[in-house]
C-alpha cells in the first residue's frame, strides 16, 4: 500500500530529527571514548560521527525543501535537493578522510604510548550500538517511503557501525601486544572506509541528479502495467522514467488504431495512468502520454493484447 505525500513528508521530517538526535548521542559517547583513552583511532571514529551530525542537519534541511510544492521556477517540484544534500555529505566525508589520513601519519611517526584503551572501548561500543539500531531503522523506513536521503543516511550510519566494531577489536589489542603504531594503522583504515562510503554516496546521488533511469525491475513493471491496462491500444514504445527524490516521472508513446476517437484514446490513457499511480503512489507520480496512429508502430515496442 502506498503512502500519501503528506504522510511521507511527516515521516521524513520525523526521521531527520531523530537522526540528528541519535547522531549527537553517538558523538557524545565517542568523544568521551577518545577523551578517556587518548586513542587517535577512537578520535577518528568520533570525527566520522561529526560528519553524521552535519549530514543529518543537511538532510533535515533538504527534506524540508523537497516537500515544498512546485512553483513557477521549479515546475517539477524540489525533490532533487535530496540528491544535492547527499552529494554535499559525500564531499564532507572525503574532506574528513583526508584529515584522518594526515593525523594517522602524524601518530605513526610519534605513537602515543599512554593509552587507556579499555575505558575508551567501552564507551565506543555503546555509541556503536546506538548507531546500529538507528541505521537499520533508517534503511527500513527509507525504502518504505522511497527517500534517497534517508537511505543514504542509513548506509552511512551502518558503515560507521562496522568501523566501530573493527576499532573495538583493534584498540583492545594495543595494550595486549604493545604495538602502539596499531592506533595509527586503525586510523588509516577508518579513513579508507570513510572514503569508500563517501564515493558510494556521491555516486548514487549524482546518478539521481543526472536523471539516471530507475532499476530494470521498475522499468519492466511500468511496461507490464501499460500492457495489461492499455486495452484498446496497439502498442507502447519509447517508455522512459526518472526519479526526483520520491517523485516518479513517466512518459511514453501509445499507439492506437487510426479510427480511435479522441475521447476513446483519452479513456485508454486514463486507465493506464490510474494503474501506474496505484502502483507508484497517486501523489508522487507524474505521467505524460503521447498518442500516435497505428502507422507509428515500432518493432521494439511493447505490444498491448
Strand partners, 255: 235, 292
- What is the grid cell recorded at 129? 550500538
45 and 73 co-located in one domain: yes
Q: In CATH, what number is assigned to the domain containing residue 270?
A: 3.30.70.1350
- φ, ψ of residue 231 in degrees (nearest 5): -55, 130
From CA 186, how far away is CA 100, in angstroms rounded? 10
Q: What is the pLDDT along the chain (305 residues), one digit of tens a residue?
A: 345 555 666 777 787 788 888 888 988 998 888 888 878 778 877 877 787 787 777 777 776 777 777 788 877 777 777 777 777 777 777 887 888 888 788 878 877 666 666 778 888 889 889 989 998 998 888 887 777 667 877 887 787 787 788 788 888 888 788 888 888 888 888 788 778 777 777 776 777 667 667 778 888 999 999 999 999 999 999 999 887 766 788 999 999 998 999 999 999 999 999 999 998 877 668 899 999 999 999 999 999 98
Secondary structure class of 288 (helix, strand, coil): strand
Range of the domain at 86: 5-209
Q: Number of folded domains in the chain?
A: 2
Q: Are 8 and 147 in contact (CB under 8 A)?
A: yes
11 and 158 co-located in one domain: yes
Q: Are 303 and 234 in contact (CB under 8 A)?
A: yes
14 and 109 co-located in one domain: yes
Q: Are 49 and 127 in contact (CB under 8 A)?
A: yes
Q: Are 223 and 302 in contact (CB under 8 A)?
A: yes
187 and 257 co-located in one domain: no
Rounded to two decimals, what is the model's pTM?
A: 0.58
187 and 273 co-located in one domain: no
For helices 182-209 and 81-109, angle between their N-to-C axes, nearest 10 degrees: 160
273 and 139 co-located in one domain: no
Amino acid at each position: 500500500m502506498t503512502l500519501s505525500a503528506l504522510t511521507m513528508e511527516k515521516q521524513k521530517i520525523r526521521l531527520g530529527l531523530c537522526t540528528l538526535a541519535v547522531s549527537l548521542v553517538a558523538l557524545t559517547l565517542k568523544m568521551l571514548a577518545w577523551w578517556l583513552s587518548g586513542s587517535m583511532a577512537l578520535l577518528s571514529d568520533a570525527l566520522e560521527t561529526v560528519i553524521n551530525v552535519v549530514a543529518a542537519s543537511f538532510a533535515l534541511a533538504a527534506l524540508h525543501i523537497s516537500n515544498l510544492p512546485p512553483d513557477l521556477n521549479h515546475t517539477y517540484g524540489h525533490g532533487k535537493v535530496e540528491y544535492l544534500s547527499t552529494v554535499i555529505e559525500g564531499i564532507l566525508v572525503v574532506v574528513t578522510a583526508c584529515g584522518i589520513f594526515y593525523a594517522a601519519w602524524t601518530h605513526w611517526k610519534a605513537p602515543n604510548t599512554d593509552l587507556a584503551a579499555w575505558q575508551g572501548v567501552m564507551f565506543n561500543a555503546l555509541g556503536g550500538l546506538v548507531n546500529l539500531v538507528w541505521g537499520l531503522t533508517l534503511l527500513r523506513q527509507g525504502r518504505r517511503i522511497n527517500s534517497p536521503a534517508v537511505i543514504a543516511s542509513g548506509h552511512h550510519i551502518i558503515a560507521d557501525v562496522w568501523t566501530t566494531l573493527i576499532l573495538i577489536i583493534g584498540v583492545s589489542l594495543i595494550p595486549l601486544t604493545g604495538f602502539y603504531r596499531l592506533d595509527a594503522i586503525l586510523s588509516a583504515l577508518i579513513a579508507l572506509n570513510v572514503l569508500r562510503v563517501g564515493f558510494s554516496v556521491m555516486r548514487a546521488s549524482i546518478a539521481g541528479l543526472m536523471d539516471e533511469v530507475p532499476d530494470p525491475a521498475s522499468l519492466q513493471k511500468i511496461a507490464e502495467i501499460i500492457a495489461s491496462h492499455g486495452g484498446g491500444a496497439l502498442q507502447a514504445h519509447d517508455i522512459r522514467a526518472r526519479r526526483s527524490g520520491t517523485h516518479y516521472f513517466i512518459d511514453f508513446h501509445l499507439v492506437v488504431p487510426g479510427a480511435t476517437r479522441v475521447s476513446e484514446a483519452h479513456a485508454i490513457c486514463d486507465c493506464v495512468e490510474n494503474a501506474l499511480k496505484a502502483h507508484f503512489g497517486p501523489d508522487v507520480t507524474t505521467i505524460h502520454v503521447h498518442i500516435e496512429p497505428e502507422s507509428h508502430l515500432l518493432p521494439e515496442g511493447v505490444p498491448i493484447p
